[in-house]
Chains A and B, each alone.
Chain A
Amino acid sequence: MLTVETIVQSLASGLLMGLLYGLIAVGLALIFGLMDVVNFAHGEFLMAAMYATFGCVVFLALDPVFAAPLVAAALFALGAVVYLGVVSFAMRAKTNVGMVQIFATFGLAILMRGLAQWLFTPDYRSIPTSWLANKTVPVFGVFLPLPQLAGALVAIAAFGGLYLVIRRTDFGRALEATREDAGAVALVGINRNRIFALGWGLGAALVGLAGAIMATFFYIYPDVGASFALIAYVTVALGGFGSVFGAFAGGILIGLVEATTAMIMPPALKSVGIYAVYLGVVFLRPRGLFGSI
């Protein structure tokens, strides 16, 4: 029964999810904007973060809220290592550069999925209830589930933090400079390789944060990254590659579209709405909504 209440409820949930999608996508957009590489293992970074959160909760008896920064830090390290160990080589390719990046990171994704399956088995896992779960918060008459709300607030805080880092810190400025002209920064004494590694680390940390949040209300299994990954790519492409703000805006849009589609169509087809919006947008604006590349 579609009442005004249920519609508002759905859209509110969609908005919250959208903020999380945006958080996942921002990491991807950051990396792409920095060096023109799409990380096709981004979904697996999310999966790794979810498993790491699970580990912190179950084995270290940490609450997810406290596990989140740890997981973000761990993912930061993972991102930097992946750049140094894999991507830096991919970027040195002389032929078929685009293809090399795509398949190198795709191979990594498959590898990580296999590793997860081997180490953790394909069983679905979930985090035992934390103080967040099963509570809802009434906001203007709409009941928002606490975990999702907390997640959305963390996402907003993360965007705010990212904005400050990019605009106000030396690192952020170096990041922007490298984005503008990777060749020239060497002349100013900026180590390009270090910036790229840190950029990957930051992008991975953001998705790590998202994973820590999502682990509290999604099942965790080796292939969980795949479904969110596609949404992330669509979000970034929708917002426009090269635009961090676009990823944020795209995420919110996608979250709302998904919620709307779920109201109109059978649940199995809820992704179709997202895909249709993506195709519609890029056919009209081949560079996404805010893209510069």
Chain B
Amino acid sequence: MPTDFPERRRRLLFVAAALVVMVAALPLFVRDVYVQNILVLTLMYAALSQSWNILSGYCGQISLGHALYFGLGAYTSTILFTKFGVLPWFGMLGGGILSALIALALGYPCFRLRGHYFVIATIVIAETAYLLFLNWDWAGAALGINMRVRGDSWVTFQFARSKLPYFYFALGLAALTWLVTWALEESKWGYWWRAVKDNPEAAESLGVVVFHSKMAAAAVSAFFTAIGGSFYAQFVSYIDPDSVMSFHFSLLMALPAVLGGIGTLWGPALGAAILIPLTELTRSYVGGSGKGIDLIVYGALVMIIALARPEGLISLFAPRRRARVGK
């Protein structure tokens, strides 16, 4: 049996750190604002998809309603900022905690549902929230909330002149969610989640309380997704239900993980690195004409990946997780 397991885990950390450093250096070479924008979005979706991956990839509870938490994060921090003057940093944390609590509250009835019933419940709950916010005048209803950008400041986390601060925050968030996943992967939770995903009945016979596992995964996942939402609100300075709570987002958070490798450590980041630039570029060059070609490409890509490589593209780079042994 290979005996270098802890060493391999450490090596992953070094690889990740090296990647972070390399990506952090990118702005030195990339001055084009349009490209920087794509980079920020790519990192944000890497973080979002990594969060989604915790519940749906590792724990196997496929959620297509994560836009709920993204939107909650965005609205919480924005409302707290515009109506009560609470700094986005606290608002972000508040949004995260609120989302985690709501995930737990929803999990209580929802995790009794299996398979397709669960997926549809997640879609329906997110749609309900979307419709409610669309009609909630205090929260801006369909017009949304506009944040006046009062000049560059880390305190208010607003920057008009440069995208770089947002870039670094997004990088930090992507790195943080990766790190959290890395840590949880080898924790009790990681093993329990994977057991629940593969065979909940067997897991129970081994003392795993399936319900608690799902709840924990949901709370962690919702927390970081909401933080991503708050970040996005600060990034674009304007939110409305269509831009932060629509089903479109739920799908967009899931696809990078599906593409890169659902239930893997690097999958979401890899998937985001491919999918987001592709989406943005096709949309700019082709999508504007309303021809739908961006959708055709998008749809075909999703189908091909799902059918040809369900384990995700990451399987091309790394042998399947097998030799996790040794002492």
> Which B residues are CB-close (under 8 A) to A193?
none
Inter-chain contact A107/B292, CB cutoff 8 Å? no
Q: Does B109 contact A (CB under 8 A)?
A: yes
Q: With A93-B310, A104-B306, A122-B290 known to touch, is A269 a contact of B135 (CB < 8 Å)?
A: yes
- B270-301 residues with Cβ-Cβ distance < 8 A to A are 290-301
With known contacts A86-B303, A275-B127, A114–B310 Cβ distance under 8 A = no
Q: How far is the CB of A103 from chain B (nearest CB, A)?
A: 4
Main secondary structure of the interface of B (DSSP, over half): helix
**B112–A269 contact, CB under 8 A?**
no
Check if A110 sits within 8 Å of B299, measured CB to CB: yes
Give the interface size class of chain A. 35 or more
Q: Is the CB of A90 within 8 A of B307?
A: yes
A243 to B19 CA separation, bound complex (whole angstroms): 51
Instruction: Find chain A residues with CB under 8 A from B134 CB.
Output: 268
Given the known inter-chain contacts A230-B124, A241-B116, A269-B131, please indicate yes or no for A114 contacting B62, CB distance below 8 A.
Answer: no
- Asked if A103 contacts B293 (CB within 8 A), the reply is no
Residue in chain A with minimal CB distance to B109 = A283
B112 to chain A, nearest CB (A): 5
> Is A132 an interface residue when CB atoms closer than 8 A count as contact?
no
Q: Mark A207-241, 1 if CB is under 8 A from B, else 0.
A: 00000000000000010000000100110010001
Residues of chain B within 8 A (CB-CB) of A237 are 116-117, 120
Please tell me if B244 contacts chain A, counting CB pairs below 8 Å.
no
Cα of A248 to Cα of B289 in the assembled complex, Å = 41
Q: Of all chain A residues, which has the CB nearest B293? A: A118
Our pick among A100, A272, A283 for the contact of B307 (Cβ within 8 Å) is: A100
Contact A107 B306 (CB under 8 A): yes
Asked whether A106 is an interface residue with its Cβ less than 8 Å from the other chain, the reply is yes
> B128 contacts the other chain (Cβ, under 8 Å)?
yes
A222 to B251, CA, bound (A): 18
> Is there contact, CB below 8 Å, between B123 and A230?
yes
Q: Which of A116, A271, A288 is within 8 Å of B127, CB to CB? A: A271
Interfacial residues, chain A to chain B (CB-CB below 8 A): 32, 38, 86, 89-90, 93-96, 98-100, 102-104, 106-118, 121-122, 222, 230, 233-234, 237, 241, 266, 268-269, 271-272, 275-276, 278-279, 282-283, 286-288
Chain B interface residues (CB < 8 Å from chain A): 62, 109, 112-117, 119-121, 123-125, 127-128, 131-132, 134-135, 251, 254-255, 258, 262-263, 290-307, 310-311
- The 6 A-B pairs with the shortest beta carbon distances in the complex, nearest first, are A117-B292, A114-B295, A111-B299, A107-B302, A110-B299, A107-B303
